[in-house]
Structure formats: C-alpha cells, structure tokens
Amino acid sequence: MQTILIYTILGIAALTFIYPFLWMIGASFASMQEIGTMALWPAHPTWHNFTTMVQKIPIWRSLFNSLLVAAFTTSLVVITGSVVGYALAKMRFKGRQLIFYVIVFTMSLPFQVTLIPNYITIVNLRLVDTYAGLIIPFAISAFAILMFRQAFQGLPQALIDAARMDGCSEMQIIFKILWPNIKPTIVTVAILSFIGSWNEVLWPLIVIRNEQLMTMPQLVTLFAVGGRADAQLGVKIAAAVLLALPVIIAFLFFQKHFIQSMASTGLKD
C-alpha cells in the first residue's frame, strides 16, 4: 500500500507538470475558435499558426543565431570552468581559498546588478549588435567552476602525478586525463549552460537591435508583445513551442548523465 501511495502521488505530480506543456503543444495546432474549449488536443489540427509565425518573423534565422550563441557560450563555459576548477581543486597557491569564496559569493549576485557595467563595457568595446556581445559576458560561470572543482576533488591525486611523470602539461591533464572521468559533470554543466544561454532574453534585448542578429527568445518576446502576432494566441503559442523544442531534445538525449551528476555531485571544501 505504501508503494502504491508513493507512485500515485508521483504520478499526480508528473501529470500536474506535464499537462500544461501537452496542452500548449495541442493549442499550437488549434484554431482561435478551438483554443478556449480544447481539453488536450484540437478536433481539427492545423499548421496555420506555424505558417503565420514563419511569415511574420525571420524565425529560422533567429533559431540559427540562438544555436550559435548557445553553442559558443556553452563551449566557453565548459572550458573556462574546467581550467579554473582544476586550479582551485588540485593546485596549491596563495589565496586559493579566498578566490574560491569570492567566486561562490558572486553566485548570490543577480545578473541585474552587473547589467549596467557589462553594457558599458560592451559599448566601449564596440560589440553592440555582434555575436561576441552576446557571448562574452556569459563565457565564465561561477556555477560551472564550482561543479568542476568538486568533480576534480573527487579524483585521486595519483592520477595527476602519473600524468605529469609521463610528460603531460596541465592542459593535457585536464582535457585528456581528467575529462573522461567526469563526463556526467561535463554534461550537466553543458546542459545548464545551454539552457541558460538559450532562455536569456534581457541581455539580447539590450545589446542587439539588428533583427538579423536577434536570438529566438528575443524575437519571440518581441513578436508576442510587440503587436506582430495581431493578438492571435495560437500563433504566440506556436512560437513558444518552437522555442522550447531544442532544450527538450537536448535533455532527452543527455538526461541519464544529467541526473547521475546532480545526484552524485557533493559540495565539500
């Protein structure tokens, strides 16, 4: 009875989370007349909402922009997080703990606190309306550094010492020796970085004005609130479904590593 009760509660919780998303998918194929009365799937599904969206905004260009920015940002976060995390975990130098505590402290600061300084920096570097202006402010993540530090601390020092005796440089140790042993952490950091970069709206709205360089979340936001959707709820929902699709696909492919890392990674000094 206890097992049945637990699974019943978990099943209800799962339905609570998944029903709105399934309804959103159904609504994206529904006409304006059906959306208000639809339970889960329209009686007469149509592609009209998607075709209207494609006609009104350069959605495929924005999709390419988002994938490009998210891919570069994720790659930089994984690389910089690995290097800094390795230095904090396995190298001994003065001020190491202080640097670590400062990095952890920055995690408590909301992005809005550094928004204006970052914007002034991007303007001074003449990176407004460029891909670099979207990528550089997010190239280093305190969370990624923390995750890699904890993962590297769990690896034996003998592995690093043996690699050094074989003539490996520190970079070779990180990317050729240690990376294969922390794949779940790499996948977790990559997924979270990709999702964070993909969903970012505020920063692109500030630094990007050229429509051809706009990311998908930015363009969809402007599409939904800027009047181009002509108050058509189904078209807005179709844009939201297309926006969520890449993140869902990425998670489905890497969920095993993601859950494994989140369950096994501990925080320790």
Q: What is the pLDDT of residues 212-246, one digit of tens each?
A: 899 988 888 887 776 666 667 778 888 888 888 88
Sign of the torsion angle spanned by Cα atoms 54, 56, 61, 64:
negative
Residue 112 in domain? yes
Residue 151 in domain? yes
Residue 263 in domain? no
Residue 236 in domain? no
Length of the chain: 269
Q: What is the pLDDT of residues 256-265, one digit of tens each?
A: 766 665 565 5
Tokens, residue 226: 């800027």
Query: Which domain covers residue 122, as residue numbers?
Result: 60-216
Looking at residue 68, which CATH number applies to its domain?
1.10.3720.10
Question: For the whole prediction, is pTM greater than 0.85?
Answer: no
Give me the pLDDT at residue 258, please.
63
Residue 157 in domain? yes
Residue 36 in domain? no
Q: Which of 213, 220, 211, 191 is closest to 28 using CA atoms?
A: 220
| Residue partners of 72: CB distance under 8 A and separation at least 6 | 131, 135
Domain count, the chain: 1
Q: Where are the alpha helices (DSSP H) in 127-267?
A: 131-135, 142-153, 157-165, 170-172, 183-199, 202-207, 216-225, 233-264
Over its length of 269 residues, how does the chain's per-residue pLDDT go in tens digits?
889 999 999 999 988 888 888 888 888 888 877 777 777 788 788 888 888 888 888 888 988 999 999 999 999 999 999 999 999 988 888 888 899 889 888 888 888 888 889 899 999 999 999 999 999 999 999 999 999 998 898 888 888 888 888 888 888 888 988 888 888 888 889 888 988 898 888 899 899 988 889 998 888 888 777 666 666 777 888 888 888 888 788 777 777 766 665 565 544 44
